[in-house]
Structure 1
Amino acid sequence: MSNPTGADAPTEKIAAQDKQPEPAASTDQTTESVEFEEPPAKVCPKCSVQTQTAGNFCPHCGAAYTRQRQIPKLSKRVILSAVGALIIAIAGLAIALSIQHNNQVNSEMAAAAAAAEAQQEREAEEARASAAASASAAAKEEADSAERVKRTAIVTALEESVLKDAKSRVDKGVLDGPITRASCTPLGGGSTDDLTAITGTFECIAVNKTEADGSESGYRFSATANWNEASYSWHLGS
């Protein structure tokens, strides 16, 4: 029969003492997790070894995973052809520019020649017009001079006619003589220089007396001359 207070009792007590209370879970604790992305698997184009790496070069042979673009190497024939084509293009451009320049120069020269010819024609026309105007002016002056001479001759003939008429009247006893001379003076618009007038009026005097001081007196006649018809008329008195 076992005793409850025997050797088993202390063992149960020690076991009870070794049991520690579990800590209570805290609601404020935050748990973070970090995820690591595995590097991609790459196959080396040179040694054909597959490796998971983030690098750009194979860790086994050092070759690059990505092949660099190689610039195609041009042949000498292609380069010479390109240079030749460029030379031909430059030569063609130079020829085109030269032709354009020559055409422009020729156009400017033609325009200058045409302008000079037009200027010469204008000057010649002006010279002809000036010569014609001078000839016309000379002809008009000559005609005017001839007209003045004609009108002067008409006045002279008028004075001779008045003198002759006055002497005839003396012979008839109508006037007292002797009549020494007759002169006619133009009235308004009757001047022989007024070539625009068609007719002229005159006051004439038949002189029969000369004073010691040189003044003259006589009988008055009135006269009218028609320049276009080269005729005249007169009568005794005003």
Structure 2
Amino acid sequence: MTTSATNNSPQGGPPRPEEPEEDVSGSNTAFPAGTPNSTDSLEPQTKVCPKCSVQSLTVGGYCPSCGTPYVARRRFANVNKRLVAIAAAVLIIAVAGIAISLNIQHANQVNAEKAAAASAAEAENKRQAEATRASQAAAAAKQAADATKRAQRKLIVTSLEDSILKDAESRVAKGVLEGPITRASCTPLGGGSSDDLTAITGTFQCIAVNKTEADGSSSGYRFSATVNWNDASYSWHLGS
């Protein structure tokens, strides 16, 4: 509220200058620049209230309809931008941490799988090596056993030849055969051999030699013999 100035000049004289109006509100408060009540710009501007959306032509910093400050939107927008930036940074850090963790887990899994594969391969190689050694040992043992059996069969044939030699000499002493008998030898019949370990028995044609020619050939009396390899027994008789 302002008061009107009165003309205090003398009658007929020039009027006295009008004195400035006095602010009767008693308030001389000044608002800093940039605040809602700042009067930096005295030109009215069209402003839209961020709360009630009322459009006003005003120089004030507050909506004349609801009193909401016009600068709140900018402040809140700046705050929201900062919050979004912080949230984005936190999200990036979290994603990076998860990616690093997944990479570490994947690397650990790959290393574990490689170690397991290497261990399995080593175990398989060891098993195969042991199986090879066992097979070689079994083969060597079988060869040794077969060699022993063949040696035993040769001894049986030698014993058979000795028995036929003694029998022929006994027959010479009795006058049945003519001597002297120098040796006896036996040969497998039918392509058989004392080396064939699958055969249980063997048949032999033997000769008690009583004559040797100059060319190295010999003649004598024929005997036939049968050998049982399992029990190391044999039998023979004179003639084919």
TM-score, length-scaled by structure 2: 0.68
- The CA distance in 2 between the partners of 1:213 and 1:229, in whole Å, is 40
Identify the residue that residue 88 of structure 1 maps to in structure 2: 90
Identify the residue that residue 192 of structure 2 maps to in structure 1: 190
- The CA distance in 2 between the partners of 1:232 and 1:202, in whole Å, is 10
Residues 22-74 of structure 1, C-alpha deviations (whole Å, 9 max, x = no match) = xxxxxxxxxxxxxxxxxxxxxxx97xxxxxxxxxxxxxxxxxxxxxxxxx535
2:114 aligned counterpart, secondary structure? helix
Identify the residue that residue 107 of structure 1 maps to in structure 2: 109
C-alpha contact 1:189 1:197 (8 A) present in aligned 2: no
1:206 aligned counterpart, secondary structure? strand
Structure 1 residue 214: deviation in Å? 1.2
Higher Cα Rg, which structure: 1
1:188 aligned counterpart, secondary structure? coil
Name the aligned partner's letter for residue 129 of structure 1: A
Identify the residue that residue 222 of structure 1 maps to in structure 2: 224
C-alpha contact 1:163 1:206 (8 A) present in aligned 2: yes
Of 134, 146, 149, which residue of structure 2 is paired with 1:147? 149
Structure 1 residue 189: deviation in Å? 5.1
Identity rate, percent: 57
Name the aligned partner's letter for residue 198 of structure 1: I
2:222 aligned counterpart, secondary structure? strand
C-alpha contact 1:190 1:199 (8 A) present in aligned 2: no
Of 156, 163, 169, which residue of structure 1 is paired with 2:171? 169
Structure 1 residue 75: deviation in Å? 3.9
Superposition CA RMSD, Å: 1.5
Of 120, 123, 126, which residue of structure 1 is paired with 2:122? 120
Name the aligned partner's letter for residue 90 of structure 1: I
Residues 128-168 of structure 1, C-alpha deviations (whole Å, 9 max, x = no match) = 10000000000000000000100000000000000000000
Of 199, 203, 206, which residue of structure 1 is paired with 2:205? 203
Any unmatched runs of 5+ in structure 1? 1-44, 47-71
2:187 aligned counterpart, secondary structure? strand
- The CA distance in 2 between the partners of 1:75 and 1:215, in whole Å, is 130
Structure 1 residue 190: deviation in Å? 3.1
Any unmatched runs of 5+ in structure 2? 1-44, 47-72
